Every structure is written in C-alpha cells, then in structure tokens.
Amino acid sequence: MNSKVEKALNAQIEKEAFASQFYLAMASWAENTGLNGTAQFMYAHSDEERFHMLKLVKFVNERGGKAAIPSIAKPPMDFKNLEDIFTRLLEHEISVTASINDLVGLCLDEKDYTTHNFIQWYVSEQLEEEALARSILDKIKLIGNDKGGMYQFDKDLENSAIQSNSAARNTASK
C-alpha cells in the first residue's frame, strides 16, 4: 500500500473513531435529559460511525498496510440543547466530508485507483450525513421553544431510529 495513502487512511480511522465517541457522548446527554428518541438516534449513529472505522481498518489491512488503532480525544460531554447538539454534529460532519475529499485528492495524486474506488462509498455516505444533519437542524429551528413540538420531534427521532435498527438487522440477516 502507498505509504502516503496509508497514513491518510489511518488519520481517517481516528476521525471515524472520534465521531463514534462524539455521537455516544451526545446520546448519553440526550438520555440524561429525557430525550430518549434523540438518544436512540445518537446511539445508532455512534454504531454507524464505528462501522465506518472498521471498514477502513479492514481495507487498510487487506491491502497490505497496517491499520493503526488510535487513542482518541475525549468528546464534549455537555450541551446546551438540541440545537447545540445538531449544530455541532453538522459542523463535525462537514469536517469529515473535507477529510474524505482530501483523501480522494490524495488517491488521485498518487494514482491509487483502488483506494479511490473504495473511498467513493464514503463520499456518498457523507452527502447523506450532511443532508440528514441539516434537515434535523432545520426542524429544530422551526420548532423553536415549543415544548409540544420538541416532544413530537423526539418521538419522531425515536421511531426513525427503531425503523433504521430494524432495517439494519434485516439486511444483516440476509
């Protein structure tokens, strides 16, 4: 494996590991705040980010590189409210997208078309992640301080998390 690409992939592994912990910290905060739907949503996304990390680890190792399992920085534990959480989440996803785009550029520069092809999955995934974060943030801003609206929003997130988990289990069992 190209050493520059391997180094960049290992840096991405660290970013995905941090993302998983970041979502986990948000899940814990939401659960402690009584926002069980938001907590379920964040727990599911923490698992998804860990899957992204594992996918990179396996790819690096299968290509003859050495995946470095990082120690990671402690994520923030305190949040003001849901708007704060989803604003930070969107900012984080935008930074991950920039990192993925840098990886794409490096792969092209190094003529590593196998890794370039592999990374395209992450490019598509980041489009979805950013769009979802923006959509949720827009809804939170529409709700404002309406407690009934916030309650319904949290229930909607809970239902979407349940549906996502069920779909993932059905796909995994096939």
| 49 marked ligand binding residue | yes
| 48 marked ligand binding residue | no
Rounded CA-CA distance 10/8 in Å is 5
Give CA torsion, residues 46, 52, 53, 54, to 10 deg.
Answer: 110
Answer for the pair 139, 153: CB distance below 8 angstroms, yes or no.
yes
| 126 marked ligand binding residue | yes
Rounded CA-CA distance 55/81 in Å is 32
Burial of 66 (0-12, 13-18, 19+ CB in 10 A): exposed
| 40 marked ligand binding residue | no
The Cα angle at residue 142 between residues 138 and 148, in degrees rounded to 5: 125
Given phi > 0 = left and psi -120 to 50 = alpha, else beta, which region is 144? Answer: left
Q: Residues annotated in the binding site for Fe cation, as ranges?
A: 16, 49, 52, 93, 126
Which residue ranges make up the annotated binding site? 16, 49, 52, 93, 126
